[in-house]
């Protein structure tokens, strides 16, 4: 993989220095986290490795694999924990069993619920509307910056973000011979390239250009100024110097990302706006409008735009948000989200949301219980399903009963200890009678009789000790 990028020449340009290229930019703003976008990134935690394991198991004829196989492929599957711990964290997805009941490595299979979700996912990949939309996005990616071809290894890095099926080269690409084809690559270490077959003027229009044409009712002319939508995190401060530069930058001509503008000085504001247009258009091609920073920089390196992409990500926090969740850096397109939620969804995103809902469901007594119900009771531990209160109602066990049992366990032949235990019981009784104790502060008549019987036993033992003393 590294040999591919070594063979790509990086073009360098000299030119005048602008505000965007000066060291003053580094001190212009202070990074402020966006909780909503961080949550959008973090909520997919463990989804990608879980689906990778699911696909591995589904591809086996026996529909199960030994845990040792998953362990040996831990890195390629991107499993963040010990595989057995990861598997046991999702009992609604994976089943663990010993084949033939013998003591060997456990095998892992899929639950009926996850198999139903997988069937729905395959229907999404097989639908004509999804395949057409995916082909259009791949076509646009090939036309951006007029690169015309992309190594398959780079597409594999972006497979999750583009929403490509696992076997897209064999199944989807042949269905669109007028769009693209797979050819042999001259790049060292590259197995092949996806090449553009025919340029499409209809598709060579960016998202921002479409919006400008709609808002200006057809009066938009190519090369006019288009302002990027900008949103900043709460607490982000823009000083006067930066605000003036942003206003002037927005007024610059908008160069289409489907044009090659590498002739512009890499340090000029015009080049900066064009690079922002290219990155903005690429981000709109991803199903979730976000991508790992390393993956997009690999694509930028192939395009000859790696350094410009890095400058854009640093200089325009109002357009692109950089999240550091999940122990990596993720680029998020700000105008693709509203209050931390994706604005434009699609069939694949809906399918992935179903997977996440199933992941957050645990099994209790052979019944599926949603994790959202875990947070209803403040007395319950977050992340666990606890039905202690329900059992308390059914069994009619009060808090005083529990405390009396503890009191009886600690009875000895020392009169002083008896007094201490009684004082502790009173103190617990006061706590149980507080409003926070809820239902547990009320006991039935049977529990009061038990408590009275224990107190009588304590008094009897005390009288016997006194009689021995005299």
Using one digit for the tens of pLDDT, what is the confidence trace for 179-216? 999 999 988 888 899 999 999 999 999 999 999 988 87
Q: Is residue 461 part of a domain?
A: no
Answer whether residue 365 shows pLDDT above 80. no
Residue, of 459 and 115, whose pLDDT is higher: 115
Q: Which domain holds residue 86?
A: 35-111
Q: Is residue 359 part of a domain?
A: no
What is the reported pTM?
A: 0.74
Q: Span 32-58, mean pLDDT?
A: 95
Answer whether residue 41 shows pLDDT above 90. yes
Q: Is residue 393 part of a domain?
A: no
Taking alpha carbons only, the member of 252, 292, 245, 248 closest to residue 275 is 252
Please give the backbone phi and psi of residue 285, each rounded to the nearest 5 degrees, phi first: -80, -15
Q: Is residue 163 part of a domain?
A: no
Residue 281 and residue 333: Cα distance in Å, rounded?
10
Residue 124 and residue 165: Cα distance in Å, rounded?
10
Contacts of 321 (CB under 8 A, 6+ apart): 34, 37, 233, 331, 332, 334
Q: What is the pLDDT of residues 372-385, one digit of tens each?
A: 444 444 444 333 33
Q: What is the CATH number of the domain that holds 80?
A: 1.10.10
The pLDDT value recorded for residue 30 is: 79
Using pLDDT thresholds of 50, 70 and 90, give the confidence band for residue 87.
Answer: very high
Burial 244-263 (b: 16+ CB within 10 A, else e): ebbeebeebebbbbbbebbe
Q: Do 58 and 343 meet the contact criterion of CB atoms below 8 Å apart?
A: no
Answer whether residue 133 shows pLDDT above 70. yes
Structure tokens at 454: 């224990």
Answer whether residue 91 shows pLDDT above 70. yes
Q: Span 327-340, mean pLDDT?
A: 94
Q: Is residue 46 part of a domain?
A: yes
The pLDDT value recorded for residue 466 is: 54
Q: Is residue 468 part of a domain?
A: no
Q: Span 298-314, mean pLDDT?
A: 96
Place of tokens 């994976």: 94
Average pLDDT along the chain: 79
The pLDDT value recorded for residue 461 is: 60
The pLDDT value recorded for residue 215 is: 87
Residue 314 and residue 409: Cα distance in Å, rounded?
66
Answer whether residue 84 shows pLDDT above 70. yes
Residue, of 105 and 153, whose pLDDT is higher: 153
Using pLDDT thresholds of 50, 70 and 90, give the confidence band for residue 222.
Answer: confident
Q: Do 153 and 190 meet the contact criterion of CB atoms below 8 Å apart?
A: yes
- Total tally of structural domains belonging to the chain: 1
Structure tokens at 3: 């040999």
Q: Span 151-169, mean pLDDT?
A: 95
Q: Is residue 97 part of a domain?
A: yes
Place of tokens 């009963």: 401
Q: Span 23-52, mean pLDDT?
A: 83
Residue 338 and residue 404: Cα distance in Å, rounded?
55
Q: Do 293 and 322 meet the contact criterion of CB atoms below 8 Å apart?
A: yes
Q: Is residue 376 part of a domain?
A: no
């Amino acid at each position: 993989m590294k040999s591919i990028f070594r063979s790509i020449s990086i073009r360098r340009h000299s030119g005048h220095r602008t505000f965007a290229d000066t060291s003053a930019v580094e001190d212009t703003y202070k990074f402020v986290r966006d909780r909503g976008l961080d949550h959008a990134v973090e909520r997919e935690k463990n989804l990608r490795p879980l689906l990778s394991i699911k696909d591995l198991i589904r591809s086996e004829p026996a529909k199960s694999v030994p845990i040792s196989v998953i362990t040996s492929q831990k890195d390629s599957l991107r499993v963040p924990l010990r595989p057995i711990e990861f598997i046991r964290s999702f009992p609604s997805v994976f089943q663990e069993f010993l084949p033939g009941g013998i003591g060997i490595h456990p095998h892992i299979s899929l639950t009926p619920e996850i198999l139903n979700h997988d069937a729905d996912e395959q229907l999404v990949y097989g639908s004509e509307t999804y395949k057409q939309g995916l082909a259009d996005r791949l076509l646009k990616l090939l036309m951006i910056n007029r690169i015309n071809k992309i190594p398959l290894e780079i597409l594999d890095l972006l497979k999750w973000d583009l929403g490509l099926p696992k076997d897209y080269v064999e199944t989807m690409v042949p269905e669109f011979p007028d769009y693209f084809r797979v050819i042999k690559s001259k790049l060292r270490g590259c197995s092949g390239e996806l090449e553009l077959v025919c340029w499409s003027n209809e598709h060579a229009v960016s998202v921002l250009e479409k919006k400008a044409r709609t808002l200006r009712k057809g009066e938009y002319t190519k090369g006019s100024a288009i302002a990027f939508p900008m949103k900043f995190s709460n607490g982000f401060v823009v000083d006067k110097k930066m605000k003036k530069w942003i206003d002037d930058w927005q007024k610059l001509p908008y160069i289409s990302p489907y044009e090659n503008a590498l002739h512009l000085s890499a340090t000029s504001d015009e080049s900066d706006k064009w690079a922002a247009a290219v990155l903005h258009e690429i981000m709109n091609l991803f199903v979730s409008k976000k991508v790992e920073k390393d993956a997009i920089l690999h694509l930028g390196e192939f395009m000859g735009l790696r350094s410009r992409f890095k400058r854009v990500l640093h200089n325009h926090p109002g357009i692109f948000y950089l999240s550091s969740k999940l122990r990596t850096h993720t680029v998020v397109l700000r105008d693709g989200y509203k209050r931390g939620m994706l604005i434009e969804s699609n069939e694949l995103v809906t399918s992935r949301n179903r997977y996440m809902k199933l992941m957050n469901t645990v099994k209790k007594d052979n019944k599926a219980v949603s994790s959202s119900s875990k947070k209803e009771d403040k007395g319950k531990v977050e992340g666990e399903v606890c039905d202690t209160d329900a059992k308390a109602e059914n069994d009619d066990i009060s808090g005083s009963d529990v405390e009396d049992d503890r009191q009886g366990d600690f009875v000895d032949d020392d009169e002083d200890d008896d007094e201490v235990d009684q004082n502790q019981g009173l103190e617990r009784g006061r706590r149980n009678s507080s409003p926070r104790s809820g239902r547990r502060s009320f006991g039935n008549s049977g529990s009061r009789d038990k408590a009275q019987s224990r107190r009588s036993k304590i008094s009897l033992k005390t009288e016997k000790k006194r009689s021995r003393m005299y």
